[in-house]
Chain A
Amino acid sequence: DAGVTQSPTHLIKTRGQQVTLRCSPKSGHDTVSWYQQALGQGPQFIFQYYEEEERQRGNFPDRFSGHQFPNYSSELNVNALLLGDSALYLCASSLRLAGDTQYFGPGTRLTVL
């Protein structure tokens, strides 16, 4: 049973560029949440997707957007990258009707130069 997978593992971008991160949820899960974890901090909730719609959003600007596909996989897009966007981006999946247990992927390390 495959867990949550994310790609790419690492990414280096320059300021102003755009980036897309990808996530495949754990088998049987229908909900995907994205978190940003800055160095030395706990993860911060970005947004959550269920039934291909954004259901909840944290305190992140509109430069952060996402998408969920019919197979439940998801993308996180960040436009106009800033140095402060450098972080580990974590994807978590869950089964909405089963409660609130989220299972996390290994993350994508984004470095903005």
Chain B
Amino acid sequence: AQSVTQPDIHITVSEGASLELRCNYSYGATPYLFWYVQSPGQGLQLLLKYFSGDTLVQGIKGFEAEFKRSQSSFNLRKPSVHWSDAAEYFCAVGLTGGGNKLTFGTGTQLKVEL
């Protein structure tokens, strides 16, 4: 069965600093990979996704992520964090080729210091 690990439960960064959120997955096939963001009391908003092709994917709000097959990782990055980026971030993995079940990590809570 697939699994997703987000090793950092909480991360605090200063506004304007760079950000990297880690995500590792365990999967027997080529995965579909996603990053979602959740503000307090809200649903999940899709930041970006990787299905195939270029391993560096660009998303909304200035986020990007890099798929590294050899490391089973899909880390999320942003060069300069804004106070409005404070939220919880979830990495998720899905099946290739159909079937939309997503397996999520436990999330990373991002706090931004002004």
Let me know if A68 is at the binding interface, CB within 8 A.
Answer: no
Let me know if A96 is at the binding interface, CB within 8 A.
Answer: yes
Which residues in B have their C-beta under 8 angstroms from that of A41?
106-107
Closest to A59 in B: B1
Which residues in B have their C-beta under 8 angstroms from that of A94?
100
Let me know if B11 is at the binding interface, CB within 8 A.
Answer: no
Q: Which of B32, B49, B90, B103 contacts A45 (CB 8 A)?
A: B103
Let me know if B53 is at the binding interface, CB within 8 A.
Answer: no
User: What sequence of 0s and 1s flags, for each residue 29-42 of chain A, a beta carbon within 8 Å of any chain B beta carbon?
Assistant: 00101010000111
Interface residues in A, total, Cβ within 8 A: 29
Interface residues in B, total, Cβ within 8 A: 26
User: What sequence of 0s and 1s flags, for each residue 38-51 of chain B, a beta carbon within 8 Å of any chain A beta carbon?
Assistant: 00011111100101
Residue contact A42 to B49, C-beta cutoff 8 Å: no
A-B interface contact total, Cβ < 8 Å: 69
Let me know if B36 is at the binding interface, CB within 8 A.
Answer: yes
Closest to B94 in A: A100
Closest to A9 in B: B41
Let me know if A56 is at the binding interface, CB within 8 A.
Answer: yes
Which residues in A have their C-beta under 8 angstroms from that of B45?
104
Enumerate chain B interface residues (CB-CB to A < 8 A).
Answer: 4, 32, 34, 36, 41-46, 49, 51, 90, 92, 94-95, 98-107
Residue contact B44 to A96, C-beta cutoff 8 Å: no
Enumerate chain A interface residues (CB-CB to B < 8 A).
Answer: 4, 6, 31, 33, 35, 40-45, 48, 55-56, 58, 90, 92, 94, 96, 99-107, 109
CB distance from B112 to the nearest CB of A (A): 20
Q: Which 10 A-B pairs have the closest CB atoms?
A: A42-B104, A104-B44, A106-B43, A104-B43, A100-B94, A100-B32, A45-B101, A107-B43, A42-B106, A100-B100
Residue contact B105 to A42, C-beta cutoff 8 Å: yes
Which residues in B have their C-beta under 8 angstroms from that of A100?
32, 51, 94-95, 98-100, 102
